[in-house]
């Protein structure tokens, strides 16, 4: 009887077969692409293989240092000062942690190679001037538009692409093949090791989203500027110079993106939101009449408008991502909650139940 229970079911055998086929097809596609375009791994055309390997080692050491630096900053940040999530505090019910298995080591190794290639290609892309060769490098070219505005565009556009793709990875037919491995850890705690411990296909999706964010900021900002100028009946060629984003802004975005990804898979209670039109941080403690009017409507659009104007759709919280790992089908976004607000998949953080709450729940169940 026990041996029959350990035997994989038909669905499990089918999933394993599909996984083998998918991984094999992916490996063949990558090998084929690299054979015909080896410059993908080395866009700089480094003549010495030792230099290429040295660069790879430096990047890995940099990732280790950066991961520890994020923890150091969190633990010494006055607003956080190492505050743990309620599920990790002393006295909370014990949580289940999963160690790194052999597959995790393989995935982390492959993803580290992909990360190094991405860094090389991104730096080469910036050095060449971006998509249209107009990307700025000079410090004197820094403006509010190609820094702060471009940075906001990159974070929002990245999440607007990542969130639906993340949702797609949770489809029942796709989830066991790719994304299930990343969800082995219900309570992420190891920073980069938990963030990067994912299927290489999923890791490549994340890289594509990062590229999408850079290209969007490079094109979107000057396009909006040209539209505004055309409506005003004027012409300003300086708007398109630099492609809408500065090279330094792209590097800052990549650093913040890496730091927030590590924090998302840490046990620290870090959260913040950005001030938007109508928010208390801009208008003081008294809400504007516009918000009061929006909240006065009886239809659901009033609540949605309030959340939009107060910037509640753009809020970063490690707790939100922990809820995703715990509940799976909620909080698909990383930084911007707009997709989850629209799809009805946003879930507020739920802390652990205390002993008194557990006893009260047991008593209510007994009465029922």
Give residue-wise pLDDT tens across range 266-305: 999 988 776 554 444 444 444 444 445 544 444 445 566 6
Q: Distance between CA 150 and CA 245 in Å, rounded?
A: 6
**Between 292 and 6, whose confidence is greater?**
6
For residue 274, what pLDDT is reported?
Answer: 63
Confidence category of residue 143, pLDDT binned at 50, 70, 90:
confident
Q: Name the burial class of residue 271, with classes exposed (0-12), middle (13-18) and buried (19+) by CB atoms within 10 angstroms of its CB.
A: middle
Q: Distance between CA 113 and CA 96 in Å, rounded?
A: 30
For residue 134, what pLDDT is reported?
Answer: 78
Is 343 within 8 Å of 167 (Cβ atoms)? yes
Q: Distance between CA 52 and CA 116 in Å, rounded?
A: 10
Residue 13 pLDDT exceeds 50: yes
For residue 9, what pLDDT is reported?
Answer: 83
Cβ neighbours of 293 (radius 10 Å)? 12
Q: Distance between CA 365 and CA 359 in Å, rounded?
A: 10
Confidence category of residue 341, pLDDT binned at 50, 70, 90:
confident
Q: Distance between CA 323 and CA 318 in Å, rounded?
A: 9
pLDDT tens digits, one per residue of 217-265: 888 877 776 676 667 766 655 555 556 789 999 999 999 999 999 999 9
Specify which of 72-86, 109-123, 132-146, 332-346 reaches the highest per-range mean pLDDT: 109-123
Confidence category of residue 144, pLDDT binned at 50, 70, 90:
confident
Is 146 within 8 Å of 249 (Cβ atoms)? yes
Identify the CA nearest to 135 among candidates 68, 75, 219.
219
Q: Distance between CA 297 and CA 303 in Å, rounded?
A: 8
């Amino acid at each position: 009887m026990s041996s029959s229970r350990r035997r994989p079911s038909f669905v499990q055998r089918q999933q394993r077969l599909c996984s083998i086929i998918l991984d094999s097809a992916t490996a063949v596609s990558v090998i084929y692409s690299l054979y015909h375009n080896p410059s993908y791994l080395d866009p700089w055309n480094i003549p010495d293989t030792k230099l290429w390997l040295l660069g790879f080692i430096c990047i890995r050491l940099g990732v280790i240092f950066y991961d520890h630096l994020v923890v150091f900053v969190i633990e010494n940040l006055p607003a956080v000062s190492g505050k743990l999530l309620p599920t990790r505090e002393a006295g909370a019910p014990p949580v289940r942690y999963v160690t790194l298995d052999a597959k995790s080591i393989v995935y982390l190794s492959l993803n580290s190679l992909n990360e190094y290639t991405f860094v090389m290609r991104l730096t080469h892309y910036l050095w060449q001037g971006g998509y249209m060769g107009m990307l700025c490098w000079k410090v004197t070219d820094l403006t509010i538009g190609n820094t702060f505005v471009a940075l906001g565009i990159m974070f929002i556009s990245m999440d607007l692409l990542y969130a639906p793709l993340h949702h797609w990875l949770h489809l029942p037919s796709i989830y066991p093949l790719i994304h299930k491995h990343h969800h082995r850890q219900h309570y992420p705690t190891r920073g980069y090791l938990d963030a990067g411990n994912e299927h290489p296909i999923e890791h490549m999706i994340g890289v594509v989203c990062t590229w999408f964010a850079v290209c969007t900021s490079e094109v979107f900002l000057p396009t909006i500027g040209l539209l505004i100028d055309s409506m005003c009946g004027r012409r300003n060629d300086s708007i398109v110079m630099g492609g809408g984003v500065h090279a330094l802004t792209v590097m800052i975005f990549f650093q913040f993106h890496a730091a927030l990804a590590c924090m998302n898979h840490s046990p620290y209670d870090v959260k913040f939101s950005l001030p938007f039109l109508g928010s208390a941080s801009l208008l003081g403690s008294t809400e504007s009449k516009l918000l009061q009017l929006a909240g006065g409507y009886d239809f659901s659009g009033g609540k949605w408008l309030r959340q939009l104007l107060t910037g509640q759709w753009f809020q970063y919280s490690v707790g939100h991502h922990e809820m995703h790992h715990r509940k799976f089908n909620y909080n698909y976004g990383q930084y911007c909650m707009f997709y989850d607000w629209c799809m009805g998949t946003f879930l507020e953080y739920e802390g652990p139940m205390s002993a008194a709450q557990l006893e009260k729940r047991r008593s209510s169940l007994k009465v029922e």
